[in-house]
Structure 1
Amino acid sequence: MKIIVLLVIGIILYFIARGYKTEKFENIKLDIKERFDGDLLNHEAGLLVALMAKVAKADGQVCELEAEMLKHTFSDISRHFENQNEIREKLKDIYKKEKESFENTIEITEKLYKITKNHYEKRVGIIEYLLNIAFIDKEFSETELMICEDISNALKIKKEDFENLVNKFKTFYANQKANQALSLEKAYEVLESNVNDDNATLKKNYRTLVKKHHPDIVSGSGAGQDIIDQATKKLQEINEAYELIKKERKI
């Protein structure tokens, strides 16, 4: 499960790589590692994390993917600092504090705007990054929309650009959902089952197919190597199908 989560994180980070990157931070110098001992809410890094906290908690909970993404972001930002361990802990503290209230969202966003006011594309990248957090659990609630829209307005993002970003994410996740549905349909077909079968029936069908296609059993019947190889491939397909359905059913 951990590997799957990390793979998903990797895909998501690649997907947004064209948008917001820590290398674009106004205050971060890439040629040297700076030491920062002041209030990180006066620094672009801290302000971004504060807004991430608002968006991540907008729907009332932080999912596993959000938590993993936040962890990677803290590490990615802090590595640019000489006192990176201290910065990472401060960023975590900012996140914990700022997720508790939405009252200062506009105030924080306005501070970030002052730092980035001459870099419109960067601000678009920031809102794209925040939208990615909002969509990462594959649900985009009205509360998340409201928070992101407020931040976008305070960053002076054009309405058209904001709406285009929202639609891009909606399309991306709609396509992902459609592909998953097709994969599930194929999984049930592989297990010679249907979506209305109960868990016990599904398990019985799975075991029957495993016994039928297990390479050791096929080999014991005197089959040639080609047949054994086909059985091995079929068994892998059966196992993958069963795992996909179990995950979807949460069993």
Structure 2
Amino acid sequence: MYIFGKILGVFFGLLFGGPFGALIGLFLGHQFDKARRLNSSPFSSSSFSSEEAQQARQEQFFKAAFSVMGHVAKAKGKVTKEEIHLATIMMERMNLTDAQKTAAQNAFRDGKSSDFPLDETLEQVLQATGRRHDLLQFFLELQISAAFADGDLHPTERNLLHKIAKGLGFSSEYLERRLRMQEAAFRFQRNARFGGASGGYQGSSGSAYQEQQTADRLDDAYKLLGIDKSADAGVVKKAYRKLMNEHHPDKLMAKGLPPEMMTVAKEKSQEIQQAYDLIKKAKGFK
């Protein structure tokens, strides 16, 4: 509550002008307090930069994401075709214009250079996001996805991811937990794509294969949500809600996520939803 201006206004108004002066002081103090309240509001022009500045920050985030992705891809010495394919897929998923696709490709190429300024780029990400946890986490997860593009995490990639996480303000323990979750997510989606590829054979070996695939996918669903198999319904729901809240596309968009990356955020939310639904079915709760 802003009343300091009113108090001073009444005091000096009463001191120099009696009751009538106090009324004038109260009015002037009210206007002063109103101006202070508006200036401190999260929706005021002083707190919110212009639309052009917001767009500039989003472009900075976009460019940094692809340049650091290129840096991660080059970490083990050679960029594999899977990593190039991942970058291409992400560009397609984002429905980029030709100009945006060229900018992403150029940024990815810049990241592969031996003198890439990683620390400076991460500092730009901190500034562009206003150090918002959800956006920084999204950025980090993009880099983890790049590292897992070929299905394997090389030691040099792991070390680089630790450096990136530290630069963004995340602990080593936090990164390792996210790496386990991302590895499970990679297998979870891979099993979804190829789980039924048993050649249509319906014999006992084919049935056993399908059962094993289902069991493996359920195991990865738990790891994707960051919980143990023994977790009860309450723990499962809490983990699900936390992850959905962190990855909700509309919330990320409101916090400054570039519009081009909305599709990636939506797909992550769908992945979390699929894992949760599978666990719900296995445990038999609603």
TM-score (norm 2): 0.43
The structure with the larger Rg is 2
Indicate the structure whose relative CO is greater, using CA pairs within 8 Å and at least 6 residues apart.
1
